[in-house]
Structure 1
Amino acid sequence: MADMRTMSELLQAPTEGYRDAIVIPAILAENFELKVGLLQLVTSSQFHGFERDDPHDHIRWFNKITSMHKYKNVPNDAIKLMLFSFSLEGAARTWLEKEPPCFIHTWEDLISKFMNYFFPLSKTTNLKNDIINFQQKFDETFSETWDCFKDLIRKCPHHSFSELYQIDTFYNSLTQSDQDLLNAVAGGNLLNCTPRDALTIIENKSKVRTSRNKPVVSKVNTTTSSSSLSLDISALTDMGGSKSGSIL
């Protein structure tokens, strides 16, 4: 049978068939309604897909937000699938809209596709190399160096480096003076401590905030330097009772 529509009608943009990539499972709960406050929280810190944006941080934040609100007889994964698109903006939203209709059926599948796109294998390789080759900068304090190292670890949670390797890498990245201070607190050599004890010493030292020590071209008073080192060691020893759960 011939199509009797006019050319004008045939050239019109379709008004139906706009199916989303994410398939939302059927909600069996009665009188279910998403809370406006939850939607506002989700849209308050959207992921744009910029180079500086961290997809791992976004997923951590999104999981935290969505886990705060529970609905009777509604799986949490269903809530996540409903809301995730609202947490995206710009290039990230465009990525999701380009996915085929009804292509994503589970939360695990969504995370996998999201990470594969915004955190490709090349990025993992680059970050792992940054961790391996990490070095304390010329004018960087110990605390700043430790913060930078932890940031690298956090950006690549699947780095696969053991705690021992991480501590050894960080220790060897330090200036001789910072290594000497850690060794003094450890009673000789930090590497003779267990990884857990070494981590506690590092964390304690990072909490002793000091000003940047810029190198100066002048004669150094060794007595003053020794006294300063002794004070630092004393301060760290006093903090020795605190514990640290992990490198992050």
Structure 2
Amino acid sequence: MGDTNRICTLGDYSKLSHEGYRNTIELPVRNNVVPLRSDTIRLVQNGCSFHGLWSEDPNQHLKDFLKLVDSLDLDGASRERTRLCLFPFSLRDQASNWLERLLT
């Protein structure tokens, strides 16, 4: 019989845990994985951030995001995967929180 009421120490709370975490965007399963460079991520973050404010147009954000990502030199096979990987980096504040809550 195991102890179901195990006492947690301060060290237990300080450990990083990714248990139960799932990405809200499902990536296609393929072998054409293109690693994202940090400068590409910064380009998306600085070039087309969407905060989810009432004054922002989500459709315009998508147009700007696609224009920016499509300007990168990508082959057709990895373009969709790269778009899906980069999209969460374009969201900030309320919009980022909204994306994270989609699974719950």
Report the TM-score range of the alignment, normalised by the length of the smaller protein.
Answer: 0.7 to 0.9
* Residues 61 and 76 of structure 1, relative CA distance in 2, 3 Å threshold: same
> Over residues 207-246 of structure 1, what are the superposed CA-to-partner deviations in whole Å (9 max), with x where a residue is unaligned?
xxxxxxxxxxxxxxxxxxxxxxxxxxxxxxxxxxxxxxxx
The within-5 A match list for 1:218-237 is none
Contact 1:27–1:74, Cα closer than 8 Å, also in 2: no
**51, 54, 59: which one aligns with 1:48:** 51
> Over residues 129-152 of structure 1, what are the superposed CA-to-partner deviations in whole Å (9 max), with x where a residue is unaligned?
xxxxxxxxxxxxxxxxxxxxxxxx
May I ask how many residue pairs the two structures share in their alignment? 99
Partner of 1:238: none
The within-5 A match list for 1:43-122 is 43-44=45-46, 45-72=48-75, 74-100=77-103
Partner of 2:8: 8
CA distance in 2, matches of 1:46, 1:5: 44
| Local SS of the residue matching 1:7 | coil
Percent of residue pairs bearing the same amino acid type: 29
The within-5 A match list for 1:168-247 is none
* TM-score using structure 2 length: 0.76
CA distance in 2, matches of 1:14, 1:33: 24
* Residues 43 and 14 of structure 1, relative CA distance in 2, 3 Å threshold: closer
Q: Structure 1 residue 97: deviation in Å?
A: 0.8
Contact 1:28–1:73, Cα closer than 8 Å, also in 2: no
Where does structure 1 lack aligned partners over 5 or more consecutive residues?
102-248
Contact 2:32–2:78, Cα closer than 8 Å, also in 1: no
The one-letter amino acid paired with 1:85 is: P
Q: Whose relative contact order is higher, 1 or 2, with alpha carbons under 8 Å and at least 6 apart?
A: 2
Q: Which has the larger radius of gyration?
A: 1
Partner of 1:17: 20
Q: Which has the higher helix share?
A: 1
CA distance in 2, matches of 1:89, 1:60: 17
CA distance in 2, matches of 1:17, 1:100: 11
CA RMSD of aligned residues (A): 2.7
CA distance in 1, matches of 2:16, 2:7: 14
Contact 1:29–1:74, Cα closer than 8 Å, also in 2: yes
Q: Structure 1 residue 71: deviation in Å?
A: 3.1
